């Protein structure tokens, strides 16, 4: 991925900088930029996945990127300067290394892909329907961006507590936003835009956090996930005539979001951990269990560093990320990093799988007795 994606970064940067000079060839130029930028997006996802806290990094990236673009638009620069300023920063992606990629498990994102696709399908049509009225009635140009940035930062905080909270809040705000579309007056148009911006902010961070969870197959996960996210706006642009039927869109939007709530609840029921896996292991015996687990995975316990061993041990005793950080007097992002490294060495993909393996060792011991 590291070598493969670099030429696409160069193509995207050059074609973006030179876009104003391709007069008469815009459709062909945009097609090339669209194809090459898809690879660039996945590369950037891999780079984010390789950071200590990919959720916070993604949130700040989304916030800073939107502010940067808004400021450029406000300056009303000539096209040749505008596209030059947009294209040149893309070259930064050339100097950040992507972690080596391999195929991995996708089970944890497969539960969410249909929900994410439906959410962004609705959002795409929502923006198309709302935008003409919002441009006409907006209180202050750019104020909607503040709602997106605030939502992005709050979502990063909620994700650190419980990832599903970010998505639940995003869907809830989407439900609220549709209620303002029954009448395109000044107040409703502005409230609808502010609310939907917040809904997208919460959901964007949830998707980045989920899809970039495992850096070893981030390209695979983020490629599939980003495709589902971007399909919605693409469909929305193709049905632009819906702006004439706000009541139809409101009804259709509420139906989709209500379905999302039900599907989201059922998904979490399916994913709920068995009670036996939620029980913490005894602190006095967990070291022996970890040594046995290492042996069963074909590695020596010495393969794990001191910090990786300690975080794994405390994780197995039932402590949360925050509690482990407080006990070891390190940051929460460091705890996540040590756990991620330990999981890679043990060839497991999640805490659920790690605890299940420990539980299986118990069952094997009982069987042997």
Best mean pLDDT range from 180-184, 235-239, 346-350: 346-350
Whole-model pTM over 0.85: no
Q: What is the mean pLDDT of the chain?
A: 83
- Judge whether 2-271 and 276-368 match in fold: no
318 versus 238: the higher-pLDDT residue is 318
pLDDT in tens, 140-190: 888 999 999 999 999 999 998 888 889 999 988 988 898 887 788 999 999
Q: Determine contact, residues 240/73, Cβ cutoff 8 Å.
A: no
The helix (H) or strand (E) run that includes residue 164 is helix 163-178
- Strand, helix or coil for residue 307: helix
| pLDDT bracket for residue 274 (50, 70, 90) | very low
Domain boundaries, the chain: 2-271, 276-368
- List helix spans (H) across 18-162: 26-49, 54-75, 79-87, 107-110, 113-137, 143-161
* pLDDT tens per residue across span 308-334: 888 988 888 878 888 888 888 888 888
Hey, what CATH topology would domain 276-368 get?
Answer: Arc Repressor Mutant, subunit A (1.10.10)
Beta-carbon neighbour count of residue 167 at 10 Å?
A: 25
At 153 the pLDDT is 94
DSSP secondary structure, 165-202, as one string: HHHHHHHHHHHHHHGGGGS-SHHHHHHHHHHHHHHHHH
Of the CATH numbers 2.60.40, 3.90.930, 1.20.1250, 1.25.40, which one belongs to the domain with range 2-271?
A: 1.20.1250
The mean-pLDDT minimum among 47-51, 253-257, 347-351 falls in 253-257
Would you state the pLDDT for residue 248? 61
**Residue 129 and residue 249 in contact, taking contact as beta carbons nearer than 8 Å:** yes
Specify the DSSP element, H or E, that contains 339.
helix 332-346
């Amino acid at each position: 991925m590291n070598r493969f994606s670099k030429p696409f970064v160069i193509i995207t940067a050059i074609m973006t900088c030179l876009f104003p000079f391709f007069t008469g060839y815009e459709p062909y130029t945009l097609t090339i930029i669209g194809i090459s930028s898809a690879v660039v997006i996945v590369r950037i996802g891999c780079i984010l996945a390789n950071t200590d806290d990919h959720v916070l990094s993604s949130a700040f990236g989304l916030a800073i990127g939107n502010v940067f673009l808004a400021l450029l638009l406000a300056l009303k620069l000539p096209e040749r300067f505008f596209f030059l300023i947009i294209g040149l920063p893309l070259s930064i992606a050339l100097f950040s290394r992507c972690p080596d990629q391999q195929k991995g498990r996708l089970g944890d994102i497969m539960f969410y892909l249909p929900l994410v696709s439906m959410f962004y399908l609705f959002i795409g049509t929502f923006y198309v329907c709302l935008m003409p009225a919002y441009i006409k009635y907006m209180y202050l140009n750019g104020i909607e961006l503040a709602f997106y940035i605030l939502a992005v930062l709050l979502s990063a905080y909620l994700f650190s507590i419980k990832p599903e909270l970010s998505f639940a809040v995003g869907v809830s705000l989407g439900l609220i936003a549709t209620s303002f579309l029954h009448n395109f007056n000044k107040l409703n148009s502005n409230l609808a835009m502010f609310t939907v911006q917040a809904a997208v902010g919460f959901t964007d961070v949830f998707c980045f956090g989920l899809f970039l969870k495992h850096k070893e197959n981030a390209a695979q996960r983020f490629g599939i996930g980003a495709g589902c996210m971007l399909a919605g706006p693409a469909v929305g642009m193709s049905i632009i005539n819906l702006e004439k039927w706000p009541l139809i869109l409101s009804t259709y939007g509420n139906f989709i979001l209500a379905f999302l709530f039900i599907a989201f609840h059922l998904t979490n029921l399916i994913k709920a951990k068995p009670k036996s896996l939620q029980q913490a292991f005894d602190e006095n015996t967990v070291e022996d269990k970890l040594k046995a687990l290492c042996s069963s995975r074909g590695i020596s316990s010495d393969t794990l560093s001191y910090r990786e061993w300690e975080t794994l041990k405390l994780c197995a005793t039932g402590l949360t990320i925050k509690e482990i950080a407080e006990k070891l007097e390190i940051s929460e992002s460091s705890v996540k990093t040590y756990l991620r490294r330990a999981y890679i060495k043990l060839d497991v993909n999640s805490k659920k799988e790690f605890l299940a393996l420990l539980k299986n060792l118990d069952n094997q011991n009982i069987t042997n007795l």
